[in-house]
Amino acid sequence: MQTEMDSEALLWTLMIGPGFSYSEQEGWSILRVNGELDMSTAPRLRQRIIAIVASGSEQLILDLDGVDFMDSTALGVLVGAVKRIRTNNGELRVVCTRENILKLFELTGLNTVFNLYTSVELAVTPQ
């Protein structure tokens, strides 16, 4: 039986942690992320990505339009994800229109590593 303290801790984690939703479209796995991605929450993103790749998905779209904040730990998770997916001859595309997140990609030079898109609809379109 869960105690009141456990319930409060769970509620707090749900409030501050990122939210994830998964779908598939035109052969692409789509992972939508909402909230903040930082050193305390990035491991959850890593776990989700590893699970998707382990299930056999070779084409992944990360929709970061719901992400309010992202730090270097989260960027490291994304770099690890793109390496993992490319090792399997797959592709990772990132959807993002938030200026603060796009600026982070630009400042780190990762905008040249990732294929960035303004919508999921554009990201699923064959190149």
CATH number of this structure's domain 18-123:
3.30.750.24
pTM of the predicted model, to two decimals? 0.84
pLDDT band, residue 81 (cuts 50/70/90) = very high
What lies within 8 Å, CB to CB, of 26 at 6+ separation is 124
Tell me the pLDDT tens digit for each residue of 39-48: 988 999 999 9
Percent of the chain with pLDDT over 70: 87
Query: What are the residue boundaries of the structural domains of the chain, listed by start?
Result: 18-123
* Summary mean pLDDT of the chain: 88
Tell me the pLDDT tens digit for each residue of 60-76: 999 999 999 999 999 99
**Which string of b and e fits 6-28 if b means at least 16 CB within 10 Å?**
eeeeeeeeeeeebeeeeeeeeeb
